[in-house]
């Protein structure tokens, strides 16, 4: 399957990197176009993918087309190539442009799906949210899932849950990076070299996530398992509680909802 990207910014590049890293696609199977040719040529060249001059060229050479432009540009870039998308799978990663909006923009009969990936797809450990309402056939959706599950967890949700799920998975990496940095700062303060601190803390975060995925244990149970009575961990947990750690995390998601409203 040849994969085309209309728009080749940070998210499209993260997806391409993940496809190449996990060997879900060879660089020669990936095509991309973007407004700035010099930037596109550099980004495509460093990955060995094929730069295209136009969206039409990208669509013609691809079996699956990912539109990865700013939401306000979706109609502008898709209108001229609508007819070229017949018989292909169209994937939109433009935030807020759901199934109903794509139906308004595209010619009748184009098969499309709206998704919301996060940046860890670049290393095959991401999340790809899929809007429950779409126009792909069952076979096309299976092809999409088979391909993109190589980049991480593929989760299908109704449109009513899409926004908060996207905030959790899309903004969460920034919060987690802050936590990683804070853990490392604390370790450096007490004598651990910076590089070792980042290496150990990041693996701890990865491992804790995988432990939950394997066990499905309640996070509180996982916390209790390492909190001995009067021990070191519970002393740290008490300090986090006193400083409002959980409330701050919940409040961060709340602040995002308020900003959107």
Q: Report how far residue 32's alpha carbon sits from residue 12's, in angstroms, rounded to the nearest whole number.
A: 9
Q: Are residues 7 and 118 in the same domain?
A: yes
**Same domain for 176 and 239:** yes
* Whether residues 15 and 85 fall in one domain: yes
Residue 114 shares a structural domain with residue 58: yes
Position 46 scores a pLDDT of 96
Residues 12, 136: one domain? yes
Give me the pLDDT at residue 260, please.
84
- Same-domain status, 26 and 120: yes
* 203 and 243 belong to one structural domain: yes
Parent domain of 223: 165-260
State whether 173 and 213 are in the same domain.
Answer: yes
Give the per-residue pLDDT at 220.
96
Kindly state whether residues 131 and 204 are assigned to the same domain. no
Scanning the chain, the segments in alpha helix (DSSP H) are 10-21, 37-47, 55-61, 74-78, 99-105, 138-148, 159-189, 194-215, 219-224, 232-242, 245-260
List the end-to-end C-alpha distance of the chain, in Å, as a whole number.
40
Tell me the pLDDT tens digit for each residue of 177-221: 999 999 999 999 999 999 999 999 999 999 999 999 999 999 999
Per-residue confidence (pLDDT) for residue 243, from 0 to 100: 96
**Phi then psi dihedrals of residue 66, to 5 deg:** -105, 120
Task: State the pLDDT at residue 139.
Answer: 96
Count of structural domains, the chain: 2
Read off the pTM: 0.90
Claim to verify: residue 119 and residue 177 sit in the same structural domain: no
CATH number at residue 191: 1.10.3730.10
Burial 51-69 (b: 16+ CB within 10 A, else e): bbeebebbbebbebbbbbb
Average pLDDT per consecutive 10 residues, the chain (261 residues; last block may be shorter) = 96 97 97 96 96 96 96 92 93 91 92 95 96 95 96 95 94 96 98 98 96 96 96 96 96 93 78
């Amino acid at each position: 399957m040849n994969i085309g990207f209309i728009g080749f910014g940070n998210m499209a590049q993260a997806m391409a990197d993940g496809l190449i890293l996990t060997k879900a696609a060879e660089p020669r199977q990936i095509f991309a176009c973007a407004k700035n040719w010099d930037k596109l040529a550099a980004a495509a060249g460093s990955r060995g993918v094929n730069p295209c001059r136009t969206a039409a060229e990208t669509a013609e050479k691809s079996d699956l087309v990912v539109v990865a432009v700013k939401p306000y540009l979706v109609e502008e870039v898709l209108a001229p190539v609508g007819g070229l998308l017949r018989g292909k799978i169209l994937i939109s990663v433009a935030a807020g442009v759901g199934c109903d909006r794509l139906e308004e923009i595209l010619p009748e009969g184009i098969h499309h799906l709206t998704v919301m990936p996060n940046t860890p797809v670049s290393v095959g450990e991401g999340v790809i949210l899929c809007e429950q309402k779409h126009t792909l056939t069952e076979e096309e959706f299976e092809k999409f899932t088979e391909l993109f599950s190589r980049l991480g967890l593929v989760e299908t949700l109704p449109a009513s849950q899409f926004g908060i799920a996207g905030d959790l998975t899309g903004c969460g990496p920034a919060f987690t990076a802050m936590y990683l940095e804070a853990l490392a700062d604390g370790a450096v303060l007490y004598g651990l070299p910076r590089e070792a601190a980042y290496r150990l803390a990041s693996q701890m975060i990865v491992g804790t996530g995988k432990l939950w995925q394997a066990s499905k244990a309640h996070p509180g149970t996982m916390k209790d398992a390492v909190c001995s009575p009067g021990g070191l961990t519970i002393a740290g947990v008490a300090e986090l509680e006193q400083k409002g750690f959980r409330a701050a995390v919940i409040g961060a998601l709340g602040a995002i909802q308020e900003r959107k409203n």
